[in-house]
Structure 1
Amino acid sequence: MKAIILAAGEGSRLRPLTNTIPKPMIKIFGKPILEHNIEHIYKYVKEIIIVVKYKAEIIESYFGNNFKGVPIKYHLQNDEKGTGAAIKGLKLDTEVLILNGDSIFDKDDLKEIIKLKGYGVLVKKVQTPEKYGIFKVDNENKILEIVEKPEKFIGDLANLGVYKLNSQIFQIVDDIKLSKRGEYEITDALNVFANKYDLKAIEIKNEFIDVGYPWDILNANSIFLNKLKKSKIKGKVEKNVTIKGNVIIEEGAIIKSGTYIEGNVYIGKNSSIGPNAYIRGNSTFGENCKIGNAVEIKNCSLGDNSHVSHLSYIGDSIIGNNVNIGGGFISANLRHDNKNIKVMVKGELIDSKLRKLGIIIGDNVKTGIKSYSMPGRIIENDTFTMPGEIIK
């Protein structure tokens, strides 16, 4: 069996974080989304083909030509749109596992479909089937058809974008026509495939992690952090550090005296925390981060090479790479009326469905001293704020 991972998408709803990297390279719990999936399948496949397009060079540079001995090849998606277009032109002579590279699938769920005798797709029961691609199945979960966002109820098993198929799928994809949306849909190909072969719907038993908006990164990190059963400390912890909860401290990282960590936390390689820092909630820090004196970080995600050096509070926030937070920065994360926080995404105000959400900061940002931010605000890449500025 070979694997095809669809990783050509940009992830425009994740801007500004995806202005510099493709969505599958967003880091969750210290690793890109794409790497989590590759780790879960590489033992079961002879070759991995990654379909790339947007900022393809970043994916190719990161993974190279193999993963732990399993060959990796790259297929550049053409300008045609749609999930079907992603595999157009590919010709494999073996069974194939096709999966989306921008969501994280549980290793046991992936193993179940890989070991399945026959062909199948991963599905999840949903409460709002009209918002998804839905599989209609018989009493034995054999797929009868798939309908995109059905107007009438046909079932509640949503398509998650993981398929185990045979080599005929490539000819079927080449033969499908443009959909009403002007795209080549892999779901159209699946309808043809299901008419020719037994195709089973396999309901997932574990967590499926989808990262659609920047604040979903916080939830994704929490899922991994909450699974920690014990600490793994490869770095250095000085005297008079208090750790309550399970932490991962990678090589070269240091936790300086007086620091208080409360909650499950991931700290990347060569990062420095403290002295006298307060870290709480489910927080993750990338590589080469610096959290200094009298800084409080609560339930945040910080990218690589980002610094919050002194006298600051950042809560429920997502910070990109190469960010420098000036002294005295305060991020507000709660409205006075306790209503959900809304965020401007692609010109539309989106309800985050969160009561607490701080700031979203892109890469290469510098904030002036004593700057403040209102809940749910965004600082775009390559910008700076003036001292004392309020980000409204």
Structure 2
Amino acid sequence: MNELVTLILAAGHGKRMKSKKHKVLHTVCGTPMLEHVIDLAQQLNSKETVCIIGHEREQLMPLLDQKHVKQVVQAEQLGTGHAVKMAASYFGSGDVLVLYGDTPLIDIETLNAFVAYHSANHFAASLISTVLPNPTGYGRIVRNNAGDFYRIVEQKEANASELLITEINSGICLFKASALSEGLEALRNENAQGEYYLTDVFEYLSGKGMAIGAYVSDQPDSLMGVNDRMQLAQAEGYLQRVIIKKHQMNGVTIINPEATTIGKSVTIGMDTTIYPGTILKGKTTIGEDCIIGPDADIADTKIGDGVSVKHSTLIESSVGDASNIGPYAYLRPKSVVGKAVKIGDFVEVKNSTIGDDTKISHLTYVGDSVVGKRVNIGCGVVFVNYDGSKKHISTVGDDSFIGCNSNLISPVTIGDGAYIAAGSTITKDVPPKNLAIARARQENKANWSSKYQK
């Protein structure tokens, strides 16, 4: 295969999206459309990935910098041919692939097959086409009597017979660099829009007797472009079906696929069951034999084997094997939960490590703490970690018992095997195996209430 340079076109206005956000930054399955396309280019081992930007380009730059993508500015939007010409200095001497920032659904298998088709047949230029029952809005592929590619006609330029053609141009194309450079120099903007169409390069090269290929894809939905919110929802639905099918084929039970959202980077182990209302995002990893959901919202979290998560939110955390989370628990970033741990209803954990076999059953806040193994933390316990200026860390030793409605005023250390009496406010360290009682002595006032009752 020749050396490959990939261009991604993302300079357009995207007015139909009706958004302050750049069109290609709208997400499909939790990932910006442009990032989907960049990932494809990088999976193809492109020598260089170049994004042509223009309108609201400052919104795109952070993502492009993060993904190490070169940037070329098309200050004035004069068509796709003009956009590609802006990146001419990157063409090199191999092949140039053109992708679109608003066409995020094509898969790597199709692109690999397309590149191999182009290379094996020594085409000067190739494109991906497909057949649509309703091709409205797409450029049509016109073939000659022998069935070979002849030219592309845009819908606005098509005559009545050409409008009946159902084979359409996806826009994704591949050129020998030298052929592309020659074709771009010959472009003219003598059309209804006064723009330089990249598609006209194909007609020029064909007229020069160069071989042109049209690779017909049997997956038309994967080639759809996204121009408005309705198409964005269609793209979401399509990619969700692809992702969910992959997990089902790998041994995951998904009770109601239509009520489940799974990001493309999520991994799930065999014999795990996903219940409705679950949203799995980012680089989440879930082990085998888990019960996830209903209504679990999990992002960038590592979950071990045999874990249960119900009606809970987990963000940038990890959960060890055989632990139970929820219902209605909240693991905030940097929470590390050990094995066989119980994090119960309305428990919030933040930036804390919870040791194996510990139980935090309900209505408790654990923040900026290290909790040991086999600890029991009662109902209503609060780790008071913030003094109004700084966060402080508390440590609870193994086999400790923290009684209900206790406050641990950080920083404080509770020794191994220590007990905290219910209702205590702990401001000093508690040595191992001590009982700490920190509450006012009860005093009863005889006949006190009769003074205030009628």
- TM-score by length of structure 2 reads 0.51
Partner of 2:161: 153
Q: Is the 8 A contact 2:128 2:217 kept in 1?
A: yes
- Residue identity opposite 1:187 in structure 2: T
1:57-102 CA-partner distances (Å, limit 9, x unpaired): 22221131755xxxx2111013142111102242423211112221
Ranges in structure 2 where 5+ consecutive residues have no aligned partner:
253-261, 268-272, 286-290, 302-308, 317-326, 329-454
Rounded to whole Å, the distance in 2 between the matches of 1:88 and 1:153 is 32
Q: Does the alignment pair 1:223 with 2:242?
A: no
Rounded to whole Å, the distance in 2 between the matches of 1:169 and 1:276 is 55
- Secondary structure at the residue paired with 1:98? strand
1:77 corresponds, among 74, 77, 80, to 74
RMSD: 3.7
Partner of 1:342: none
1:252-301 CA-partner distances (Å, limit 9, x unpaired): 89xxx99634xxx985448xxx9869x9xxxxx999xxxx98xxxxxxxx
Q: Is the 8 A contact 1:8 1:56 kept in 2?
A: yes
Partner of 2:182: 171
Q: Does the alignment pair 1:248 with 2:248?
A: no
Which protein is bigger by CA-based radius of gyration?
A: 2
Rounded to whole Å, the distance in 2 between the matches of 1:245 and 1:128 is 34
Change beyond 3 A, Cα 1:122–1:48 = same
Rounded to whole Å, the distance in 2 between the matches of 1:183 and 1:34 is 24
Partner of 2:211: 198
- Residue identity opposite 2:42 in structure 1: Y
Name the one with the larger helix percent.
2
- Residue identity opposite 2:108 in structure 1: K
Deviates more, 1:135-144 or 1:176-185: 135-144
Change beyond 3 A, Cα 1:169–1:260 = same
Q: Say how many residue pairs are matched.
A: 264
Rounded to whole Å, the distance in 2 between the matches of 1:266 and 1:135 is 45
- Residue identity opposite 1:88 in structure 2: K
- Residue identity opposite 1:243 in structure 2: Y
Q: Is the 8 A contact 1:48 1:73 kept in 2?
A: yes
Q: Does the alignment pair 1:15 with 2:21?
A: no
Deviation at 1:123?
Answer: 0.8
- Secondary structure at the residue paired with 2:80? coil
Deviation at 1:221?
Answer: 1.6
Deviation at 1:134?
Answer: 0.6
Rounded to whole Å, the distance in 1 between the matches of 2:143 and 2:37 is 27
1:330-384 CA-partner distances (Å, limit 9, x unpaired): xxxxxxxxxxxxxxxxxxxxxxxxxxxxxxxxxxxxxxxxxxxxxxxxxxxxxxx
Rounded to whole Å, the distance in 1 between the matches of 2:42 and 2:139 is 28
Change beyond 3 A, Cα 1:34–1:276 = closer
- Residue identity opposite 1:195 in structure 2: G
The 5 A counterparts of 1:300-311 are: none
- Residue identity opposite 2:128 in structure 1: L
2:140 corresponds, among 134, 137, 141, to 134
- Residue identity opposite 2:199 in structure 1: T
Rounded to whole Å, the distance in 1 between the matches of 2:82 and 2:275 is 49
Deviation at 1:210?
Answer: 2.5
Change beyond 3 A, Cα 1:78–1:128 = same
Q: Does the alignment pair 1:121 with 2:134?
A: no
1:14-36 CA-partner distances (Å, limit 9, x unpaired): 112xx13x212211111111221
Partner of 1:38: 38
Deviation at 1:246?
Answer: 7.6
Q: Does the alignment pair 1:2 with 2:10?
A: no
- Residue identity opposite 1:82 in structure 2: G
Q: Is the 8 A contact 2:6 2:96 kept in 1?
A: yes
- Residue identity opposite 1:193 in structure 2: L
1:193-234 CA-partner distances (Å, limit 9, x unpaired): 222311111111223232221122222222222221256898
Change beyond 3 A, Cα 1:189–1:243 = same
Q: Is the 8 A contact 1:65 1:73 kept in 2?
A: no
Rounded to whole Å, the distance in 2 between the matches of 1:286 and 1:74 is 32
Change beyond 3 A, Cα 1:267–1:173 = farther
1:260 corresponds, among 285, 294, 298, to 294
Percent identical among aligned pairs is 20
Rounded to whole Å, the distance in 2 between the matches of 1:245 and 1:165 is 45
Rounded to whole Å, the distance in 2 between the matches of 1:88 and 1:163 is 14
Deviates more, 1:23-32 or 1:223-232: 223-232
Deviation at 1:170?
Answer: 2.4
Q: Is the 8 A contact 1:129 1:153 kept in 2?
A: no
- Residue identity opposite 1:58 in structure 2: Q
- Residue identity opposite 1:77 in structure 2: Q
Ranges in structure 1 where 5+ consecutive residues have no aligned partner:
236-240, 280-284, 294-392
Rounded to whole Å, the distance in 1 between the matches of 2:146 and 2:66 is 41
Change beyond 3 A, Cα 1:243–1:174 = same
- Residue identity opposite 2:214 in structure 1: A
Partner of 1:355: none
Partner of 1:97: 97
2:192 corresponds, among 156, 180, 187, to 180
Rounded to whole Å, the distance in 1 between the matches of 2:137 and 2:284 is 46
- Secondary structure at the residue paired with 1:182? coil
